[in-house]
Amino acid sequence: MSVIYVLLTISITIAIVFFIGFIKAVKSGQYDDDYTPSVRMLFEDELVKTKPNKTINKTKV
């Protein structure tokens, strides 16, 4: 029976730590931008600079 109390205490402690981390992330503004991530995948190709295509010289036989 004492194992249940130990596991319950550890799980509540871990839950409180994650909750405090979540609250700090929200207060620091990590979740403020909701629009850009949904649109970023649409314009991802424009952000990558493409290298000029190298042409291969083929000789006619």
pLDDT by residue for the chain (61 residues), tens only, comes to: 899 999 999 999 999 999 999 999 999 988 887 777 778 777 766 555 555 566 666 665 5
- What local confidence, expressed as pLDDT, does residue 46 receive? 59
Residue 51 lies in a domain: no
Domain hosting 16: range is 2-45
- Alpha carbons 28 and 20: distance in angstroms, whole number: 12
17 part of a folded domain: yes
Look up tokens 């493409």; give the residue: 50
pLDDT at 9: 97
What whole-number distance in Å separates Cα of residue 38 and Cα of residue 24? 24
Structural domain count of the chain? 1
Sign of CA dihedral 12, 16, 18, 22: positive
